Amino acid sequence: MEKGLPEIELVAKARGGDSDAFAELVRSYRNIVVGFAYNMVGDSFAAEDLAQETFIKAYASLATLEADEKFGAWLRVICRHTCMDHLRGKKGEVSLETLRSGGLDPAETGVRPVDRKIIVEEEEGLILDALRELRDDYREIIILKHIEELSYKEIAKITGLSVSGVGEKLSRVRQMLKEVLDEREKTGTKRPPDEEGDGKADD
Amino acid sequence: MSCPDKHQMLSHYLDGELSGEARAELEAHLKGCEDCRNDLAVMRGIERRTDRAIKALQVEEKGFVEKVMRAISGRHRSIGGAGTNWVVFLSILAGTVLLVALAATLIVRAVLNPAPCPPLPVVAKLAVGSGAVEVEYPGGATENLEGGSELVAGCVVTAGPEGALVELGGAKVYIGPKSRVGLPVIETGASYLYDGRIFVRTGDEPGRAASPGASIELEARSSVYLGTEKHAIVIPEGRMTLTTKEGKTEHAAGVIDDARAFRPSWVPASQLPSVWPCEGGSHLASGWTPLEGPGAGAKAERLRSDMKAIPALALDRSGAPVVDVLYFAGPLKTPGLGMTRRPDATLAVSYAGEVRVVERGGAELKRLTGISPVGPPVLIDDDEPVIATGSVLKRGDKVAGPISTKLLTGPAADGEGYAYAVGGGGYLLGLGPEGECMRMKIDGLAPVRPTVTRAGDVFVATGWDIWKLARGAEKLPEQAHARVDAMPSCQMVADGKGRLYCVTKRGTLRIFSPGGAQLFEHDLVSPARGLAIGRGRTLYVLLEDGALWKITE
């Protein structure tokens, strides 16, 4: 098994044709790539499919990866192109507005309502809705932070930002998120009372 | 701790990214500060909720990895179902498959790396990028490029988080964050093909839409600003023609001489998924320091980016820019047209249908109603502002004009009570202290408020020339005072030493000596809405995109 090897070695082995090593990379990057894709398409089902496609493309073009230590950043670029191709292919179906509001309503997104793995609760919907109002570079940072609990340094490595830049952006995105949530809660989008007690902001 | 610092500190604390010392300091502070404790609690609450929502996107490990690996092996190995009776056959088959796979790999490699095609002509250069600018070449190959890279015909540039600037022939194309622009395949002239709808408004014409896929042709000296918040294209000058995909001319705009009256906006097509509002286009210029030539070593610093609602730029008594018009003028019910200020800090603010003269602190000294000023009035003394309204200049019962067209700008005055404004058709209209009327017809006169020095010199612009008129002059001098790259985008300013400051419609700041020689230039990307000189020759520039810049030499 390839578990426990440093990422750089896994990448080198995968490039040499070791599919177990690649499987290990898929395992550790799966949520991050789903997060990237979700950030671009705003639909959790499509994001999963696109993440799989990203890994398949990545495997096919591992030979073009110039620096093994930039595997994460390289995956991000492939994912971005995959998502853009997907969105381009859906020309005429997906409007900017649909993208901004879509992804949650099965009627809008055309996703399979029966086998949805993620049941988006009202609370989660509210947060995801609020996230959608952010600029996508901000949204990407917060998704990376939460989906795999990455450190500033790890986020910086993937996004190409500086470590302090990541910190600054996270601080701003939290402020923005608070504003969006305050606004949404004020305009009547109800959410269930928070059993954990969130302090003053949730009054 | 100041508020922004505090927020960032709390955010870092929440993420466990504070160093031991900073962490201890913050914790000590938290013990004694209820405000900060509350803020932290609020932040934690949002954090928990965000965490739950985003974690819901996580995918189940086993199924996901298996699916990917199955697809990979399916594409690369073509594995069939295995049965005990087929061992020998499968061994042979496996050998064959391996050979086929090898051959296929070679073919795939050959397709992926075809023989080099004849190079496409280089049509543009990426002037500045954020490092994340993506370029898609004709044929689909993609690459991330840095500033200075050459771009070939037919490629598509997708701007990174800070946008990108592309130099295309004589034109500059600013691509807003997350926007895409296709570079022309045609080498002659500069034409752009967008897949979005293009809305065009010229003068008083209502907005009209060009059909999807229309292209825009620009003359070499045109500038394009592909905006961000409203996806606007601003074309400060030049001729613009919209042509449909089929080659039919849909709209020919003629020569555009006023950027503000010609502001097409681009609504991005659905395939542009990530066009989000940003803080303002001019942030691209942040950190630009000219290395050589006029302006080398000057420092440009963006102070704010949220001043879209501020109608004009004025400085307060301390020489700092006024960033909140409400502080001076009280709540505004209608959009203001602008304001002017005198050294004693009295402001004249004009609105549609009325003019208010407001003292520093908000006390209203005078209100004139029932008039329609075309721009901010100017105060010569505290009693009577000079107002440009309709075709006349008025100051109390003294009137200059009318001219045969409407005035286009508010007035500007010198130290002796002479005021001037610009009207349509190239009229410069003046009003003297005793009610004298001065009219001068100047071909191609730019519709921006004249610049008047206290000594009585009047600066106006035509096309690419700036002219200096002495008080009482009846015609233009033989030679222009200075030459610029485009018309001024707003009123120029002159400092006490006779130096003239101008931001052109191409977004370049130029400073001229009293004799007209250029001393300085700096590219601000966006045209300006206001210019003011503060203490120590600090120049403040309010840009069309709402950014406020401070420039020190």
Cα dist from B534 to B16, B64, B316, B318, B494, whole Å: 43, 62, 9, 8, 12
Does any CB of chain B come closer than 8 Å to the CB of residue A167? Answer: yes
Q: Between chains, do A147 and B55 touch, taking CB under 8 Å as contact?
A: yes
Cβ pair B231, B215 in contact under 8 A: no
Q: What is the pLDDT of residue A112?
A: 31
Does any CB of chain B come closer than 8 Å to the CB of residue A109? Answer: no
Cβ pair B501, B520 in contact under 8 A: no
Q: Between chains, do A167 and B17 touch, taking CB under 8 Å as contact?
A: yes
Q: Between chains, do B273 and A123 touch, taking CB under 8 Å as contact?
A: no
* Main-chain phi, psi angles of A155, to 5 degrees: -65, -40
Q: What is the pLDDT of residue B241?
A: 46
**Cα separation, B370 vs B407, whole angstroms:** 17
**Cα separation, A45 vs A118, whole angstroms:** 9
Element holding B364 (H helix, E strand): strand B364-369
Helical pair B34-55 and A122-132, crossing angle rounded to 10 deg = 100
- Letter string b/e over residues B78-116, b meaning 16 or more CB atoms within 10 A of that residue's CB: eeeeeeeeeeeebeeeeeebeeeeeeeeeeeeeeeeeee
- CA B287 to chain A, closest CA, distance in angstroms equals 16
CATH 1.10.10.10 positions along chain A are 121-193
What mean pLDDT comes out for the span A16-40?
87
Q: By three-state DSSP, how is residue A56 classified?
A: helix
CA closest to A170 among chain B residues: B11
CATH 1.10.1740.10 positions along chain A are 1-119
pLDDT band at residue A187, thresholds of 50, 70 and 90?
A: low
CA closest to A137 among chain B residues: B161
Pick the CATH number of A121-193 from 1.10.10.10, 3.30.1300.10, 1.20.1250.20, 1.10.3720.10: 1.10.10.10
- CA A141 to chain B, closest CA, distance in angstroms equals 12
**Cα separation, B413 vs B427, whole angstroms:** 17
Pick left, alpha or beta for residue A148 (phi over 0 → left; psi -120 to 50 → alpha; otherwise beta): alpha
- CA B539 to chain A, closest CA, distance in angstroms equals 29
**Cα separation, A151 vs B276, whole angstroms:** 26
CA closest to A81 among chain B residues: B142
Question: Which of A3, A28, A30 to mutate against chain B (most B CBs within 10 Å)?
Answer: A30
More confident residue, A39 or A109: A39
pLDDT in tens, chain B (553 residues): 555 467 788 888 888 888 888 888 888 888 888 888 888 888 888 888 888 878 777 777 778 888 888 877 765 433 233 333 333 333 434 444 444 444 443 333 333 333 333 455 666 778 765 556 788 776 667 778 777 788 776 677 776 666 667 665 545 555 655 556 665 542 222 223 222 223 332 222 333 333 333 344 433 233 333 332 223 333 333 344 444 445 454 444 333 333 333 333 332 322 222 222 222 222 222 223 333 445 556 777 778 777 766 666 777 667 777 665 544 444 444 456 777 776 666 777 777 677 877 766 667 778 888 888 888 888 887 668 899 998 999 998 899 988 888 899 999 998 788 999 999 888 999 999 898 999 999 988 988 999 998 888 999 998 788 999 988 788 889 999 998 878 898 999 998 888 899 998 877 888 898 888 888 887 777 788 889 888 877 889 888 777 888 888 6
State the count of interchain CB pairs (< 8 A) between A and B: 181
Tens digits of per-residue pLDDT, A73-85?
888 888 888 888 8
Cβ pair B549, B540 in contact under 8 A: yes
First to last CA, chain B: 32
> A1-119 is classed in which CATH architecture?
Orthogonal Bundle (1.10)
Which residues in A lie closer than 8 A to residue B69 (C-beta atoms)? 19, 22-23, 26
CA atoms in the 13 A half-sphere facing the CB of A13: 17
